Amino acid sequence: MGTSYANVSVGYVEEELFNIFTQKIPTFFLRMLTFVVSFLFLNYNWVVITEGLIQLPPRFLNHYKTNDVKALSIDSTTLNQAVDKAYEKLKQQQLSNSVSGTREQINALTSFLDGSMIYGSLQNTSDALRTFVNGLLKSYTDSSGNTLLPQSPNPSEDLCSDPSQDLYCFLAGDDRLNEQPGLTAIHTVLLRQHNKIAQSLKELNPCWDDEKLYQESRRFVIAQIQMITYNEFLRVVLGNYYYYLEPRQFGYTYYYPSINPSILNEFSAAAFRFGHTLIQNQFNEINSAGSTTSFQLRESFFKPFGMYIGQLDRILRGLAAQPAQKFDKFIVEDVTNHLFQKPGEEFGLDLASFNIQRGRDHGIQSYVHYVKEFFNLPISNFSHLDVLMSSTDWTAFENLYESVEDIDLFSGGVAEYPVTNGVVGPTFAIIIQNQFLKLKYGDKYYFEHWKQPGSFTY
């Protein structure tokens, strides 16, 4: 049963309806939509930090932490080389005609549901993943004949593999695929899906060349990702805020060139991080006989090596069967005290702190600004938040912030009551719904559109 206050609608949902896939999908999709670049002023030098690209030395991590960074002891020369590499990556994005003015973070990826985490966002990345034979993507076959992702081509440099122990990480369109086994598993499924479609198309169209088979298979996979996103995932996440998004049962939709499909700062730096509250400390693996074992998340960062010994199927069964955490203000210890923890160390990094820091770095306005903007609810003191969250939660904010205007968007958003039949609260629901409207109607290649390059026949 739900409750409505003015223009705000909140409700209740049984948390056991959502499995771990509900948590994995936003993490996986963010790897397709955003790769954020931040600029940190460290030691009187501007240093470019991207999610997973530059590895800062531990002396910096003791004072300033940034997202997706693994501590690595390197000298200043190596750090400078890493900075040069980051700038070179930006140059490859053909970032030109920049002018001085308000600083804006750079999204190094295309802001579309285009499968870039599978196929890459740059031509050289895409080429490195292809066999150029019958439209297939590269893969690795294990000792049991199972198809896995291709192995890293630079195992001595990828900061994940250990060639001395014959342990090799994997390669995909996104560099962050090895962060934890759940992500690696989803990457593997989509690689297999692409190659399965390519093989089927080859049988149906024996005259098609490699390029035709690759592009058509890619188009099918992207359409499937878009369909799952709009027909299933968003329906679950948004609840009664799921409108204007549902795929049509008949006919076509239309592309609107005037719609800007770029990723909103509020989406990438706050609202779509909601999945972090759903993470479990332990992930279940279920074998073919139904027996369940588990592994600790903190012990699994950048260790996808179980894929070589049949872990994939067990993880997929676990993702489907294991309930996610409840959407709330709590985030488990394995990512708040032990994120990317190195072997032998007592602590790792803090994902919740990254989320707050990221929002401030992007210049996102306070939580109550969006409440007023979306619902016409002026919030002048903490008790006014009672319509959106429990008194326990707004009292906690009162003890932490000097003013209600200081509450960060991520912090306030995860404290809200969920919308009826959905996962997130109303403020995050509005941001997510708006972003996916832009991604749908501002993308000329979206699969439902009429008479566009990505259109399918009716």
Query: Containing H/E element for 48?
Result: strand 45-50
Cα dist from 121 to 92, 134, 267, 410, whole Å: 10, 21, 20, 28
**Which of 362, 414, 354 is CA-nearest to residue 68?**
354
Q: 219 - beta bridge partners?
A: none
> Kind and range of the H or E element at 9?
strand 8-10
How far apart CA 319 and CA 286 sit, in angstroms, is: 9
Q: What distance in Å separates the CA atoms of residue 450 and residue 178, rounded to the nearest whole number?
A: 38
Q: What is the pLDDT of residue 49?
A: 40
Q: How far apart are CA 392 and CA 374, in angstroms?
A: 24
- At residue 343, the pLDDT reads 81
Closest listed residue to residue 427, CA positions, set 310, 327, 346: 327
Query: Phi, psi (5° rounding) for residue 10?
Result: -125, 160
What are phi and psi for residue 189, nearest 5 degrees? Answer: -60, -45
Q: In angstroms, rounded to a whole number, what is the distance separating the alpha carbons of residues 146 and 314? A: 14
d(CA 36, CA 104): 10
Confidence of residue 108 (pLDDT cuts 50, 70, 90): confident
Which residue has tokens 């001085």? 100
pTM listed for this prediction = 0.82
Enter the tokens of residue 144: 């049991």
CB half-sphere exposure, 13, CA atoms < 13 A: 23
Does the pLDDT at position 145 exceed 90? yes
The residue to which tokens 């488990």 are assigned:
332
- Reduced to 3 states (helix: H, G, I; strand: E, B; else coil), residue 290 is coil
pLDDT at 159: 78
DSSP secondary structure string for all residues of 342-409: PTT-S--B-HHHHHHHHHHHTTPPPHHHHHHHHH-----SGGGGGGTS-HHHHHHHHHH-SSGGG--H
384 compared with 344, residue with greater pLDDT: 384
User: Could you report the per-residue pLDDT of 432-451, keeping only the tens digit for each?
Assistant: 999 999 999 999 999 999 99
State yes or no: pLDDT of 241 exceeds 50.
yes
User: For the segment 32-81, what is each residue's pLDDT rounded down to a tens digit?
Assistant: 566 654 443 333 233 334 343 333 333 333 333 333 333 333 344 444 55
Whole-angstrom distance, CA of residue 12 vs CA of residue 403: 29
Q: Are 275 and 373 in contact, with CB atoms under 8 Å apart?
A: no
Domain map of the chain by residue range?
Answer: 35-108
Instruction: Give the span between the Cα atoms of 317 and 104, in whole angstroms.
Output: 41
Distance from C-alpha of 237 to C-alpha of 29, rounded to nearest angstrom:
14
Mean pLDDT of the chain: 82
